[in-house]
Amino acid sequence: MSADDAALVACLVTRRGRFLVAEPYFEPGLPITLGRRGGTPAEAGELVLVAPARGGSRGRVVERLGDPDDIDVVLRALAGQAGAARAFPAAVEDAVGRLSPDPPPPTGDRRDLRDRPAFTVDPGTAKDHDDALTVERHGDGLRVLVHIADVAAVVPLAGPVDEEARRRGFSVYLPGRVDPMLPQALASGRCSLVPGRPRDVVTVELPIGPDRRVGRPSFSRAQIVSRRRFSYDEVEAVLTDGAPCEPDLRLALADADALAHDLRAARGRRGALALDRPELELELVDGRVVDARTVAEPRAHALVEELMVLANEAVAAELTRRRRPALFRAHEPPDPESVERLYDALADLGVPTPPLPDVLGPSEAAAAVGRVAGTTLAYARQRGHGAEAWSTMILRALQRARYDPDLRSHAGLASPAYCHFTSPIRRYPDLVVHRALLDGLGVGPPAAGEDLGDLAVALSEREREAATLERDGERICLARLLEDRLPADRDETFAGEVIGLIGSGLFVRFGGVFEGFLPVRRLGRDWYDLNDRGTALVGRSSGFRYRLGDPVEVRVERIESERGRVALAPADGAE
C-alpha cells in the first residue's frame, strides 16, 4: 500500500445486487460503492481498506485484508485505518538496505565498552531492545551504566528514514502486532541491543554512593556487546528462586534490584505518584483471542524503570546546564482547586483522606495527590474493591503529561527536570533528545534548528492518538473473547464494580478484565441523576445510589465486537 493513500476506511465488503459495497466496519457510516476500475479486486465478506473518492459515496479498494473472523485481520484493519500500518517508502528501505548489519569497531570519540558485562531486561516478546545496563560495585557504592541504542548514528537528520520516523512519531503496539516507527532492519536489527552482537550506544554513567546519592553523571558514545537478554520472568526466577545465572550478572541484578527499590521509596517520599495499576495481557492464537488477564507490575520492570528514570533525569539536567534546545517531558503540578475537588469527591465516597495543608499551592497540591494516592489504594486493597475507579479519579485531577521545548517539572515523578531519552527506537522525541545531547557534548552533528514548539505539540498529539488506538485494539480483543466465552443464551451473571459514571449510565468492570456500559434506563422504574461531584447516580424516588467503586451484579445484553462495546443489564433483570 502506498504511503500516499490518505483517509483510508476499514470496510466489510458486501454485495447489493450487481454491485459490491463497502460498509464501514469500526464505526457507523454510509456505504461506499466500489468502482470497477483503478482498485484492488475484492470479494464479499472480506475486510478491506478503502480510499473514498471526493464526496465519500464511491471509492476504491487499496488493500485486501482477509476474513473478519480472524482477529489479526481486524487489528490490521484498525491500524491501517489509523495510518499506523503503512509500508515504509522505497527511499526509506533503500537507505536502510545500504547499512551493514553491525557497526564498525569503535574509534575516536566512541568508547570501547565491549568487555563490560552489559545485559538487557525486557518483556518476553520484545524484539526492539532500546536499553541495556551495566551495574558494577565501585568502592562502597555502585557504578551504573545505562546504555541506549545510538539511533542517531544511523538515522541522519532530515534524511528519508528520519522524515518517516518523525511522521510516525511512535511505534504502535496492538495485541499481537507492532507497527514500528523505524523499519524492522533497524528496530529489531542494527539498532536493537541483541546479545552477542556489537552495538553502538549512548551511555549515561551514574556513580551511586553508599547513601544512594547520585554523583555527577558522564555521557559518551560507546560500543557494547550485550552479554545476555533477560525476560521479566527470568529476572524474577534469578532473584527469587535462585535460577542459574552467570555470577557477575546475578550480582548485578541483585544490586540493581536493591537500588531500584531504594530509589522508588525515595521518590515516593518526595511525592511521586504511585497508582500501581495492573497491565492487561492478551493471548492470541491462530486468529483468535484465547485468554486475557491482568498482571501486577513485574519486579524486573520496576528495576529497569527506576534506572531509566535516573538516566532521563541526568540527560535533562545536562541539557539544561548546557542550555541546549531539546524536548522535555512536562507534567505540571495539578491545579489546587482540582485537588480540593478530588479530596471532596473521595470523602463523599467514604474514602479516608490525609489532611490537606493550610496553604495549597501547586507544589503542595502535587504532594497532596501523591499522599492521597497511597492511602486510597491501601483502603481499596482493604475493602477489596474501588481501586480502578478511585485511581482514575486521582489521574483526572492531574494535568496531562506532554512534550515541551521549555523545561518544566514532572509532578508524577517528583522530578524537577525530565526528558525522554531511553527509547529512541520507538519514540521520536527520544531521538530529538539524543541529537541535542550529542551536539552539546561535541560528539555529534548540529541538532535541528527547527521550531521545537510546533514539534512538541505535534508529537504530543501523535502520542495521544497512538494510546487511543492501542486502547481500541484491546477493547475489540476483549469483546471478541467475551463473545466466545458466553453461553448462547447469555444468561450468565458477573460480579463487577462501577468504574465510571456519566448521566446516562454506569461503566462496569466485570469478569476481571471486561468492561461494559449499563444504561440508567435499565435500572428499574426509578430515574437516576448524576450528583454534583460526579461520584454517584442517585434515584429520584428511591434515593438509591450507584457509586464509583461499588460492587454490582450484571449480565451481558449485547456485544458489538467490531467496536469493542458491551451493553449490560442488571443481573436481576430490573426494568
Residue 1 predicted with pLDDT over 60 = no
pLDDT band at 574 (very low <50, low <70, confident <90, very high): low
Of the candidates 520, 523, 495, 489, the residue with the CA atom closest to the CA atom of residue 509: 495
Any alpha helices (H) in 145-246, and if so which ranges? 160-168, 184, 232-241
CA atoms within 13 A on the CB side of 358: 0
How far apart (Å, rounded) are the C-alpha atoms in residues 320 and 204? 16
Distance, CA of 124 to CA of 501 (rounded, Å): 37
Strand segments (E) across 398-550: 402-404, 493-502, 505-510, 514-519, 528-530, 536-539, 545-547
Identify the pLDDT of residue 423. 98
Domains annotated on the chain, with CATH: 9-91 (2.40.50), 105-323+420-446+454-475 (no CATH), 336-398 (no CATH), 486-570 (2.40.50.140)
Distances (CA, A) of 104 to 108, 200, 223, 267: 12, 9, 10, 40
Q: Distance between CA atoms of 1 and 85, rounded to whole angstroms?
A: 9
Share of the chain above pLDDT 90, in %: 88
pLDDT > 70 in the chain, percent: 98
Query: In the structure grid, which three cell numbers stand for residue 379, read together?
Result: 483502603
Q: How far apart are CA 171 and CA 165, in angstroms?
A: 9
Tell me the per-residue pLDDT of 156-181, one tens digit each, with 9 for 90 and over: 999 999 999 999 999 999 999 999 99
Q: What is the pLDDT of residues 504-550, one digit of tens each?
A: 999 999 999 999 999 999 998 899 999 999 999 999 999 999 999 99
**How open is the CA angle 146-148-153, to the nearest 5 degrees?**
140
Identify the H or E element spanning 343.
helix 336-348
CA distance 124 to 267: 28
* Alpha carbon distance 75, 230 (integer Å): 29
Amino acid 395 reads L
CA distance 130 to 192: 6
**Can you say how many angstroms the Cα of residue 319 is from the centroid of all Cα atoms in its chain?**
25
Half-sphere exposure for 572 (CA within 13 Å, toward CB): 5
Query: What pLDDT, on a 0 to 100 scale, did the predictor assign at position 292?
Result: 98
| Alpha carbons within 13 A on the beta-carbon side of 170 | 17
More confident residue, 409 or 572: 409
| Section 122-138 average pLDDT | 95
Distance separating alpha carbons of residues 481 and 175, to the nearest angstrom: 13
Q: Could you read off the pLDDT of 325-343 as tens digits, one per residue?
A: 999 999 999 999 999 999 9
User: To the nearest whole number, what is the mean pLDDT of the chain?
Assistant: 94
Give 356-369 pLDDT, tens digit per residue: 998 999 989 999 99
Q: How far apart are CA 475 and CA 565, in angstroms?
A: 7
**Inter-axis angle of helices 428-441 and 299-321, nearest 10:** 50
All three cell numbers of 510, joined, read 466485570
Cβ(23)–Cβ(12) under 8 Å?
yes
Nearest to 291 by CA among 126, 475, 482: 482
pLDDT band at 276 (very low <50, low <70, confident <90, very high): confident
